[in-house]
Amino acid sequence: MTYDRLVCANCAAPVSEGRCRVCRAVRQQMLEEQGQGPFAGMSPLTLIVLMVVLLTALALLAHQAA
């Protein structure tokens, strides 16, 4: 979800405007979360499985090329 669609429960204004301290805090938190990269929301187990699949695919390609 993006903060431009959120409405603050404290001041009833759009969070993107940052009218109150609650809006500004949520806006800052969401901006920090966006900057963490595409794999930030994945669990460690999912990342491990993804890496195993990638390494297996690379090994199969290397075996076929040899």
pLDDT more than 90, % of the chain? 32
pLDDT tens profile 9-33 = 889 888 888 889 988 888 888 877 7
Helices assigned H by DSSP within 1-66: 21-34, 44-65
Domain spans of the chain, in order of start? 1-35, 38-66
Q: How far apart are CA 18 and CA 11, in angstroms?
A: 10
Total-model pTM: 0.47
Burial grade of 64 (CB within 10 A; 0-12, 13-18, 19 or more): exposed
Q: Quick one: tokens of 54?
A: 């990638």
